[in-house]
Homo-oligomer: A and B are copies of this chain.
Amino acid sequence: MPTKSRVMAKILVVDDEPDALELVGFNLKAAGYEVVTADDGADALKKARQHAPDLILLDVMLPEVDGLEVCKLLRRDPATSQIPVIMLTAKAAEIDRVLGLELGADDYVTKPFSPRELVLRVKNLLRRRTDGEEKPDQFNIGDMFIDVPRHLVTVARKRIDLTATEFKLLTTLASRRGRVQSREQLLRDVWEYDNIIDTRTVDTHMRRLREKLGTACRYLDTVRGVGYRFVEN
């Protein structure tokens, strides 16, 4: 295998059986990934926050808090909600619930699995996140709806008129939901960064955006000293 110039992805593996942990860990390391392990739900949540892994492999069967619950909690925490999760499940029947949106797992592998298949899934999911940069043309957040190609924003089914820059600012934030964007970052992405523009300009546009969005301005969060971010509660 060719050496990667970039640091390889870090993966958190969660399983209560030491043997399974070792098997999975060994194969992932062989594929060049950095591996962190956890053997119960609470440990998994802690390590997920601590290490900010690029992907989580999560066994459904866990003592105390089960894997489904862990997955839900991971999704709820802004620090971990964006991390892709692959569930390991023994029963094929569980698949439906696992992939259901309420849980938000990104993929699953049924036990027993071949190491090769597992690594393939991991690679796939990581690639989707990195080079795909996933740019959906539609967002649905609470009662806000954004359609990029149609250049349309509605809040509670009522149309909101936005100017070109306001719209781009909103979609930029929405597409990086949960992650804070610095003013410099926003200037680069929204204003295309050849312009030398005062960073305070961003503030003004945020204000105009909030004004037009009305109640939905609750989705636009200010992070003092850092920038702005799109939140969904």
Contacts and interface: CB of A to CB of B under 8 A. Distances in A.
A152 B231 CA distance: 12
A147 B78 contact: yes
A1 to B, nearest CB: 8
A162 B127 CA distance: 33
A221 to B, nearest CB: 10
Given A96-B29, A149-B180, A150-B180, A140 B79 contact: yes
B152 A78 contact: yes
The count of identical subunits is 2
B78 A3 contact: no
A199 B134 CA distance: 31
Contact of A101 (B1, B51, B120, B225): B51
Contacts of A3: 117, 120-121, 124
Contacts of A135: none
Contacts of A178: 149-150
A191 interface: no
B163 A78 contact: no
Given A51-B101, A150-B229, A151-B180, 15 more contacts: A3-B117, A3-B121, A5-B124, A49-B145, A52-B138, A52-B140, A77-B154, A77-B157, A78-B145, A78-B152, A78-B159, A79-B147, A79-B154, A150-B180, A165-B225
Contacts of A223: 151, 164
A220 B167 CA distance: 20
A37 to B, nearest CB: 10
Given A145-B49, A150-B179, A224 B164 contact: yes
Given A3-B121, A179-B150, A229-B151, A79 B164 contact: no
A226 interface: yes
A132 to B, nearest CB: 10
A178 to B, nearest CB: 5
A126 B5 CA distance: 12
A130 interface: no
B101 A140 contact: no
A9 to B, nearest CB: 13
Contacts of A149: 178-180
